[in-house]
Amino acid sequence: MGSPAVATALVSASLLVLGAAPGGGQPPLPARMADTGGGTQLITAVAAKASATSGTVTWWELGNGRWVKAGSAAARFGANGLVEGASRKQGTHTTPAGLYELPYAFGIKAAPSGTTYTYRPVRERSWWCQDKDSRVYNRWSEPRAKDCRAAESEHLIAYEKQYAYAMVIGFNYAKPVRGRGAGIFLHVNGSGATAGCVSVSADAMRRILKWADPGQQPHIAIGTTGGRTAITRY
């Protein structure tokens, strides 16, 4: 059996690897998660419970082996709360819990000064196809594809407030499963809970866009503080 000094050193080293706070405090949230996407930037969107429609968005940076909070803001979620992303159904007004990539940003307004993320301007002919029968399901379509029904899609420019600034959340994006859901974004607050997106204030979106560095491979993790959709599972 090793000496007490050696054991203490090993415990201390383990805490440093986990990103524990100095003095033995609880490690920051990213250090307690099963996965953070492999990059050095992470956005967490956390609600107190699955039925909640509000919570907190925090953005983090990894440096010298430790996750450090870079900013936070109040957030809104789907009108019917959060559900496991893998079992979500389209049209349920639920926000999908899970860990996702952030493919690109977009907006009706110009990108905030200092933005380095790919930023696509919204134009009059910009649509997000949510038509399950379309070949461009869960994709930006400009102009709207002939097989994508307008009634089953979002005319992006019509959401002047919400899509002033936004980031695509890669839920059901890489290989879309028809009927699971389309058009899940991180965007500016509307008048209340969302249809399934995560929303924050316009100021917070500007701060996030100026902070996000594509070279650091930022991801977003969405979940609750505990239970089946606990963010630490992702």
The pLDDT, as a whole number, for residue 11 is 35
Sheet arrangement for strand 127-129:
139-141, 127-129, 153-155
Residue at 181: amino acid letter: G
Structure confidence at residue 24 as a pLDDT band (50, 70, 90)? low
pLDDT band at 25 (very low <50, low <70, confident <90, very high): confident
- 210-225: per-residue pLDDT in tens? 999 999 999 999 999 9
The secondary structure of residue 36, as a DSSP letter, is -
Residue 143 β-bridge partners:
none
Q: What is the mean pLDDT of residues 95-109?
A: 98
Distance CA 40, CA 61 (A): 6
When the pLDDT of each residue in the chain is averaged and rounded to a whole number, the result is 92
Whole-angstrom distance, CA of residue 195 vs CA of residue 214: 27
Using an 8 Å Cβ cutoff, are 167 and 102 in contact?
yes
